[in-house]
Amino acid sequence: MNLERYPIEVDFPNLDAYAEGNTGVPYVYSFDSGVPGSHTMINALTHGNEVCGAIAVKAMLDEGWRPRRGRVTFSFANVEAYKRWDPENPDASRFVDQDFNRVWKPEVLDDLSRDSQELRRARAMRPIVDTVDFLLDLHSMHERSAPLNVCGPLDKGIALAQRLGTPAHIVSDEGHSEGRRMRDYADFGLRESSRNALLIECGQHWEAKSVAVARNCCARFLILCGNMDVADIPSGWLQPLPEHRHVVRVTDAVVAESMDFRFAENYTGLETFADKGTLIGWNSGKEVRTPYPNCVLVMPSLRQLRPGVTVVRLGQLLD
């Protein structure tokens, strides 16, 4: 595979000063206003090489952001993977043992016969996550693409994404066959619960624009959840809202059967194919074609290619 090497446009900050936290859980900080309101959590570094969220969370801690109402928790999740980041091999530090964003099924977390760096970290963070009303999980993408608001499969997620107002593209999906994401954990994934979560794919991992997206989404999420007011947000954080939003409902996930997967073109995301049956790739020699007209490619990438990994999701444009 001849994969484009993207320039690293941002510095990876040293997070050692945040190791103690103030919650009993390393790298997790929580601040309670003493005034009734929601408990809102902003999480960074679900993947160790996705730095934009860490930059935003570090800035909020350094600048002393505190809620007017309710409680706000800031967290750096997979710091052990982050510490292994190497600019010469920048995709390698996504996780240590397994994907932190595939372990959030309660029965997996409860099964102490299973062990990994990521499971230990999720178990440590779980008691705090269990008290959260609204979660914003900050991510970035392997390829250079427009940012995405990934809201899960439920209408309540789409509604929350619409209310946040940014990014312009909202992706409603079921997650991954490998395991459950943090944003789908427990009540976040239950239709009858008012608890809710969004996952923001801010852009390509190391582009400066991703940091601006992360900062904007953090500020707007805290305003939306009622923890802060517009007047509390420092200059430069809020960006204009997009004029239009587009909802893409994911219907299919293309999972690599082997290391023999290739795309027909150099796709990076949100490519839309007017015709049903358009050839987009080969999976162990078998053709992969679009299943319906106006099919949208969501986050295609071969950078983490291995058997069982989702290499692209296919979606219908709803509006």
C-beta of residue 70 within 8 angstroms of C-beta of residue 37: yes
Residue with tokens 């940091």: 211
CATH code: domain of residue 111:
3.40.630.10
Residues 319 and 316: their CA atoms lie apart, in Å, by 9
Residues 66 and 45: their CA atoms lie apart, in Å, by 21
8 falls within a domain: no
- 247-292 pLDDT, tens digit per residue, is 999 999 999 999 999 999 999 999 999 999 999 999 999 999 999 9
SS3 100: helix
Average pLDDT of the chain to the nearest whole number: 96
Same domain, 185 and 311: no
- Domain containing 267 equals 250-317
Question: In angstroms, what CA-CA distances link 299 with 142, 220, 290?
Answer: 8, 24, 15
Model pTM? 0.94
175 falls within a domain: yes
1 falls within a domain: no
Q: What tokens appear for 285 in the block?
A: 């020699």
> Helix and strand tally (H, E) in the chain?
6, 14
Total structural domains within the chain? 2
Q: Is the pLDDT of residue 2 over 70?
A: no
